Structure 1
């Protein structure tokens, strides 16, 4: 009998289930849908007064924190998270949703729904805190999931490239790299260089065309550092 591999019969190939082109976890789809509904309301339902109220109540505004926390109203407490669900327009929403589907899907499949939601909340807060530190008492208004998406990108960098390549179907099962291993992995280093390069351009005023508003690169960096440095706290898969 020959040891050469035999071709798979056409009937078998047809019967084999195909991997879906887009296999996005439900929690990621739910977040995209929630952000999309909010954007529909902001763009097509709310009048100017209602839009202004939404921004005041749910966007992150550093000036709000220049005063004593004692007696702070509701937005003082929830806007470090709620801002991540609002966007500056459809292009801003679309760009964040694309990267959320790509990298958020990897992380969600690995850590599960509960940890993913907790990661989102804490990543949003970390992003907002660095933005606050860089814009203390400023009246700038920050909205968008970019900081959280940056955190998810950084988290994915800790495991998605550990096998020396990238497999869309199985990347979420790859071994988690330690911080030192990640910083000496050439693929991860290239990924980090591109990401930080884009944000350095943003810091210098370069726009990617997603929105006419200024890019909150500080929030991106805050989220990225949070995801890269703390991912092991959320990862249920032990290092092998």
Structure 2
């Protein structure tokens, strides 16, 4: 059954009004986040000396080895790095790659849940992403940075509502769609194809067949952790039940 589309807006004289939506229109909350990410990377790249930038990495990037040390024998860095790593990127290419996918999948999610829920969703999806990563890389010294886990969370969340029950995508009004029940989602051919391609791509990345976004070694397990979080737990954030 097709979703009902919002009525065409009309002017005072009853004639249909032309859409006043700009061609490129992002939610303000998402725009602010993207500008924040760009500002952080620009400051690290062009302002901070290398020694100070290394301090930033040490204190705000995620490091699995940190959790092998008794928490009482270290500072509180372990407490915030499961979130703050998502604001750092390894290169402009890495950042632009994440921004591209955040615009595509984050925009409908942010339009749907609003800024306050976005803040919670960001923190929890980032944490879920590295939680799965650390399971496979316990005690390793490899640094994890980048918003890819959150982007994957957006993708998983969007899969629950951007497709109509018939499998079509309503691009302009996707955020107004009814959220599919879990069994409906798993039975939706378009969702299954999208999810299958997404997981296959990440498994190929894990096998080292290609990389994503010029980020060097890719924490593909974190991508899966973020996607699973968004896919199964988006209902906790969704105001449109």
Pick the aligned partner of 2:44 from 42, 49, 55.
42
Structure 1 position 223, deviation (Å): 0.2
**Counterpart selection for 2:156 from 154, 157, 164:** 154
CA deviation after TM superposition for structure 1 residue 128, in Å: 1.0
The more displaced of 183-192 and 20-29 is 20-29
Partner SS for 2:131: helix
Cα distance change on mapping 1:212 and 1:224 into 2, 3 Å: closer
How big is the shift at 1:71? 4.5
Flag as ranges the 4+ runs of structure 1 deviating above 6 A: none
RMSD, matched Cα: 1.4
1:12-71 CA distance string (max 9 Å, x none):
78x623432212101111111111011101111111101111110110000001112235
Shift of 1:212: 4.8
Query: Which sections of structure 1, spanning at least 5 residues, go unmatched?
Result: 1-11
Q: Kindly report which structure 2 residues correspond to 1:64-83, keeping only aligned pairs within 5 A, or say none.
A: 64-83=66-85
Aligned residue for 1:185? 188
- The corresponding residue for 2:12 is none
Alpha-carbon distance, 1:73 to partner: 1.2
Distance 1:76 1:56 in 2: 11
For 1:87, the equivalent position in structure 2 comes to 89
Q: Which of 138, 141, 149 does residue 139 from structure 1 map onto? A: 141
Q: Does 1:114 align with 2:116?
A: yes
Paired residue for 1:223, among 184, 206, 226? 226
SS of 1:36's equivalent in the other structure is helix
In the alignment, structure 1 residue 169 sits paired with structure 2 residue 168: no
Q: How many residues align?
A: 226
TM-score between the two structures when normalised by the length of structure 2: 0.90
**1:209: Cα distance to partner?**
5.1
Match among 128, 131, 141 for residue 129 of structure 1: 131
Distance 1:128 1:77 in 2: 13
TM, length-normalised to structure 1: 0.90
Partner of 1:4: none
Structure-2 separation of matches of 1:235 and 1:171: 13
Contact 1:92 1:210 in 2 (8 A): yes
Partners of 1:70 and 1:184 in 2: CA distance: 48
Structure exhibiting the larger radius of gyration computed from Cα positions: 1
Residues 81-126 of structure 1, C-alpha deviations (whole Å, 9 max, x = no match): 0000000100000010111111111001111111111000000000
Superposed displacement of residue 206, structure 1? 2.5
Contact 1:84 1:148 in 2 (8 A): yes
Task: State which drifts further: 204-213 or 54-63.
Answer: 204-213
